């Protein structure tokens, strides 16, 4: 059967159910598993012997939290990870995740000039700026940051949905990033059906009962991997 692509409303509903009494997950758990899947995706596509330097760009919300977790894991995997946060998050969980990166000596890039300089010595960008709750237009400071990332021509791996894309309409305005690789979390979103690069699914935490309830039709994850490639799988939305 075809894997289900989610509307914004359904994606939000599934997230809420994962964290309510029925799902029983904490936000920390979901971020840890999502971030690990993101790091594994980078490692699967960009071998650290050829692409060792990864710039992880984090927004202020939960998407940025996934990026911070991924940065820590990439450092543990032996990559030279660095962070760029155009607008750091203020929540306590975000601050803890940033501290964990500091504790593993992951440097932080600040300001547009440092960003441009860092991109010249980066092999991969992990885009964890906007999540599925993003709605255009792109506001400051991100309206400056996204063009800088695009113009760098450094390969991009986007988390869940490319930054600047609407969760249902995709890159209709043409202002979002155009990544080479996408790692969808839980299930892919409706707006990325037009995505043409390599597409992975991550977040191996959806209970079978919830998968069946929402008719997600998720593919099997291979072995102990936290990701599965879905580049050429048929899709459905209903």
Q: Binding site annotation covers 59?
A: no
Q: Is there a contact between 202 and 37 (Cβ–Cβ < 8 Å)?
A: yes
Q: Binding site annotation covers 122?
A: no
Q: Binding site annotation covers 132?
A: yes
Q: Binding site annotation covers 131?
A: yes
Q: Binding site annotation covers 133?
A: yes
Q: Binding site annotation covers 195?
A: no
Q: Binding site annotation covers 66?
A: yes
Q: Binding site annotation covers 62?
A: yes
Q: Binding site annotation covers 196?
A: no
Nearest to 57 by CA among 134, 197, 163: 163
Q: Binding site annotation covers 176?
A: no
Hey, what are 78's tokens?
Answer: 């032996």
Alpha-carbon separation of residue 232 from 33, 58, 183, 235 (angstroms):
24, 28, 14, 9
Q: Binding site annotation covers 88?
A: no
Q: Binding site annotation covers 184?
A: no
Q: Binding site annotation covers 160?
A: yes
Which residues define the annotated binding site? 62-66, 127, 131-137, 160, 163
Which residues define the annotated binding site for K(+)? 63, 127, 163
Which residues define the annotated binding site for (6S)-NADPHX? 62-66, 131-137, 160
């Amino acid at each position: 059967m075809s894997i289900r692509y989610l509307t914004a409303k359904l994606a939000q509903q599934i997230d809420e159910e994962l964290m309510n009494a029925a799902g029983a997950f904490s936000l920390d758990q979901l971020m840890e598993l999502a971030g690990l899947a993101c790091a594994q995706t980078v490692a699967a596509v960009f071998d650290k012997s050829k692409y060792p330097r990864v710039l992880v760009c984090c927004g202020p919300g939960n998407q940025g939290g996934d990026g911070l977790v991924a940065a820590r894991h990439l450092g543990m995997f032996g990559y030279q990870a660095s962070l760029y946060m155009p607008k750091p998050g203020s929540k306590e969980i975000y601050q803890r995740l940033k501290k964990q990166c500091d504790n593993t000596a992951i440097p932080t890039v600040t300001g547009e000039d440092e960003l441009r300089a860092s991109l010249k010595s980066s092999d991969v960008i992990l885009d964890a700026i906007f999540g599925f709750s993003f709605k255009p237009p792109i506001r400051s400071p991100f309206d400056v940051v996204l063009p800088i990332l695009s113009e760098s021509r450094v390969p991009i791996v986007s988390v869940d949905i490319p930054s600047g894309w609407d969760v249902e309409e995709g890159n209709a305005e043409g202002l979002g990033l155009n990544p080479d690789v996408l790692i969808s979390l839980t299930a892919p979103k409706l707006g990325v059906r037009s995505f043409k690069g390599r597409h992975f699914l991550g977040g191996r935490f959806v209970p079978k009962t919830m998968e069946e309830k929402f008719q997600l039709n998720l593919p099997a994850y291979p072995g102990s991997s936290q990701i599965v490639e879905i580049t050429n799988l048929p899709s459905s939305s209903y």
